[in-house]
Amino acid sequence: MDLSTQVDKTVTVTGRISGVPWQHIVASVEGCHSSEYFDLDDGYQIVVYLKNPITEKGRISVTGKVIGVRGGSKRPGAAKSEPYTEYHVVVDSWRPAPQ
């Protein structure tokens, strides 16, 4: 799913909490006390923002609102002033997904 087309919409994505975080722009989201790097089933990684930590270690589905987080590019060779947006999910709920 292309999250850039889903800003301010509620989506459900499936994957698992990552053991290998990539470099991401991270935001401070009101009401969320933690964040996790989340490996999507399609091979991409996003950041999810949570009111409470996720305790499940296996595959899960998270549902929440997509937000755009803007900052300087982290791409090697890119000018730091070059604007860049990543798309993350503010989680409302989660559930274990079939393995």
CA-based nearest residue to 69, from 81, 89, 45, 85: 85
pLDDT tens digits along 11-60: 999 999 998 888 888 888 999 999 999 999 999 999 999 999 998 889 99
Q: Distance between the two ends of the chain, CA-based, in angstroms?
A: 20
Q: Residue holding tokens 């991401």?
A: 24
- Residue 50: how many CB atoms within 10 A of its CB? 20
Residues near 44 by Cβ (< 8 Å), separated by ≥ 6? none
- CATH number, position 92: 2.40.50.140
83: pLDDT confidence band, cut at 50, 70 and 90? confident
Write out the DSSP string of the chain.
--GGG-BTSEEEEEEEE-SS---------TT--EEEEEEETTS-EEEEEESS-----S-EEEEEEEEEEEEE--STTS-TTSEEEEEEEEEEEEEE---
pLDDT of res. 50: 96
Domain that holds residue 26: 3-96
Please state the domain count of the chain. Answer: 1
